[in-house]
Amino acid sequence: MDHLALRGLRARGNHGVLEREREEGQIFVVDIELGLDTRPAAEGDDLTKTVHYGVLAEEIVKIVEGEPVDLIETLAERIADACLAHTRVQVTEVTVHKPDAPITVPFDDVTISIKRSRA
């Protein structure tokens, strides 16, 4: 299985359990890794036989900018579902970063990483 990665995708969303997070929003950063067989695409130099990562990036941004959720776990699950909706993707790993989480002590980042595959 080959791996295609998209790292550091940024979008503003209104996710979180606090009212301030829902009203003001914040930047979320998303990393994805897709597991798929890229040989058919490479052999024919054919975009239709792989994943168009530009299209997928736009889909992910719409999810982050879309309907608010309380948990970044839920957000990561929605992104994983969008990745697996691309028929060539067999497995995906999604990491959602929330670097501006409302934590009262110094920190660098909060992340959730999930791995999902076709049933």
DSSP 8-40: EEEEEE--SSSHHHHHH-EEEEEEEEEEE--HH
Query: Which one of the listed residues 49, 62, 98, 115 is annotated catalytic?
Result: 98
**21 band by pLDDT with thresholds 50, 70 and 90:** very high
Domain 2-117, classified CATH 3.20.20.450, yes or no:
no
Active site residue 98: yes
* pTM attached to this predicted model: 0.96
User: pLDDT (tens digit, 9 = 90+) per residue, 62-73?
Assistant: 999 999 999 999
Whole-angstrom CA distances from 2 to 30, 35, 73, 101, 119 are 20, 6, 26, 33, 19
Predicted confidence (pLDDT) at residue 119 exceeds the cutoff of 90: no
What percent of the chain has pLDDT above 90?
Answer: 99
- Domain positions in the chain: 2-117
